[in-house]
Structure 1
């Protein structure tokens, strides 16, 4: 039954957020961890090259740092392992926080009024050894170094574990922090972190990114991030008559160093890309906000056709099958679902609906595996949320999508999650945990030599279904 108090969730959220700038920036002033300085901060790893032989790092300083370097060395047991370090000159990009140039017109970014320009620096360390522990550090002004940060290149093959987060979006520092830390405690050996969009609420607003970087702490710099554009990574700029359409935040490309697909339109660069982590795992990242879904569908079709990896995982923000009322994306489903089914994509990881949903499309009869235990599955799909903004689940679940052969298998409301995905040869283990580290959902997927997949659940205990009616009182997270 729909409850009246939930009708005000979205409205109250928008009202509270609209007053947030005055609360946090004017009354209290910028926190000491927001403003850039000559010291490097917001250090983050992404993939932009072969993960087995390269490490990609981006960081920030104030605009006085015109050029700088980073260093890397094999991380050995020696006290002074760093004597063997090598230096790499960084690329540097200026970002004007309080305004942005759009179509030849400089428009204001009111959320960042009074903030000085910053410089973002990036390097790609190349010619590294696979599955090897390295230590790197980055410099701001001369002599202003970060600590040495240890990280490991990808193995060419073998087991891989990663963590998947749905929307963080709001209450980032206050509430999302505990989810990230719980994920690290559960999976300290994760090789990368996947963020399925809406990392923040207003992506042109520097303060929200300050919270996101602080909430993730050292994990951003030591574990590579696969980042997906969500609808809150785009927003309008300017005021009054000089107001733009919603465009990608001017902070996205400078602060992440992501692959550029040259055969795609410029507006899709660094938002649509793939990462072949190793011979077993291949990731495909889509920009589900773009109107150019047919272009992306063609790109995905070609990429999947060329992929020889055992496991292919697609991630996007808007879900193929919505789990919240009034949020269906039929045009995206029409463009992408045929490609996902054609290539029997193993896992589709999504966000946006601020609920939890997992379900699958079963194999067509002519593709059913014979003599295998468990249900034969063609595509498994997940919608998830990791932050403190919540919606009610669609009243009919996924029943309205029955024509597509999809079955909803687990759902939740009012609960942030993190998901740990472990891949070892022909076995994929999926586990969804609550922020207090309780197992909520899991399955094991086995892939045969013929590519057919069977999914089964063992005897592991999971907690009972979580709905608004069966969980604690819900209030929106404190606004930023």
Structure 2
């Protein structure tokens, strides 16, 4: 009997000890700071780039190792702590290929690559696409488009908005960033869409120029203007004044990017407000190409001597497409748009997600380089 009591007591003691191991913090293993998202590239210039990533737990040390060979050889330290990490490398050489990896505590990423911006007179390629939100099919179509973009090997990528279905959901943003694995090696410049709102959520996951809500950047012979077309920010006087200042540049080409299309033959149709608010100034201010999304289609439009492209086939459910008096070509397909730019031409190639061409054309230059005051005068005289 005494032996049974001793065995029972020992068993109870063991169970209590095991329960303490399970529930007591001093017995828990430390959470690992494994890399959950990224690294991904942001805000590339001719001499700098920003790299972001997320770890599974807070860290004590974060850095980027980089160089022009597999030995890397350079290290830029980031801030300690937190799970979201952002490191900016400066003093880089223009138009140069680099290799890099990130390190958080004892965890390191694979080695990836990036390329600093090319200079004036140098050709470059970028890809535009939009409406990649893929909750409805577990991101399957968005993943196919992302793979096609990666295969195209552009210098950078533009997203015309609606990257996620619900901007306030961190889970949605994590899914988008994980699916968009081309961002390991290619910078993404996004425009905010209505599904990406609020702006405070959108800017959490990106490091962009200016105030990040609307911004511009130079690349080669092109000046890019990225706007917020979502209510109520589309009515911002500050954004409008900023736009007027950026319409008059010395760049050979000017390209505007925003979410809502002034002209579209898709389900949502034309955005009348933007036909009045922005389009006349873009058209008379010398913008050569306008890239938009929102309608889940591809459409090439030419109106008032300006080329508009609706590219919203990045992963969301496709819409039926019609045709307007301005439509050059339209189709309902999962796609991306490859754009080759040099000092004398912009060539647009719309591609199915697997790279099969849909359409190819050269953008006619918009010679209405009138500046702010001439654009306003044209607005009044043409009765827009």
TM class by shorter chain equals 0.7 to 0.9
* 1:411 matches 2:330: yes
Normalising by structure 2, report the TM-score: 0.80
- Residue in 2 that maps onto 1:345: 287
1:62 to 44, 56, 59: 56
1:268-290 deviation digits (Å, cap 9, x = unpaired): x3121111123x01111111114
- Residue in 2 that maps onto 1:420: 338
* 1:145 matches 2:108: yes
1:388-445 deviation digits (Å, cap 9, x = unpaired): 4122235xx334xxxxxxx2111112x1111100012211110001123321111113
Are the counterparts in 1 of residues 98 and 114 from structure 2 also a CA contact under 8 Å? yes
- Residue in 1 that maps onto 2:178: 214
> Cα distance 1:448–1:345, how it changes in 2: closer, same or farther (>3 A)?
closer
The runs of at least 4 aligned residues of structure 1 exceeding 4 Å deviation read: 91-94, 446-452
1:285 to 202, 222, 226: 226
2:46 to 52, 64, 81: 52
Structure of larger gyration radius = 2
Count matched residues.
333
1:128-158 deviation digits (Å, cap 9, x = unpaired): 1111111222122x22111222111112120
Are the counterparts in 1 of residues 247 and 286 from structure 2 also a CA contact under 8 Å? no
2:97 to 128, 133, 139: 133
Please state how far the C-alpha of 1:315 moved relative to its aligned partner: 0.4
1:277-313 deviation digits (Å, cap 9, x = unpaired): 23x01111111114243432221110122x2111111
Q: Which moved more, 1:191-200 or 1:60-69?
A: 60-69
Where in structure 2 are there 5+ consecutive unaligned residues? 1-30, 371-384
C-alpha distance in 1, partners of 2:366/2:231?
Answer: 36
- Residue in 2 that maps onto 1:183: 149
- Residue in 1 that maps onto 2:165: 201
Normalising by structure 1, report the TM-score: 0.65
C-alpha distance in 2, partners of 1:178/1:153?
Answer: 27
Please state how far the C-alpha of 1:67 moved relative to its aligned partner: 4.6
Give me the CA root mean square deviation.
Answer: 2.4
C-alpha distance in 2, partners of 1:445/1:277?
Answer: 17
C-alpha distance in 2, partners of 1:331/1:322?
Answer: 13
- Residue in 1 that maps onto 2:308: 381
SS in 1 for 2:76: strand
2:206 to 233, 241, 256: 256
C-alpha distance in 1, partners of 2:163/2:362?
Answer: 28
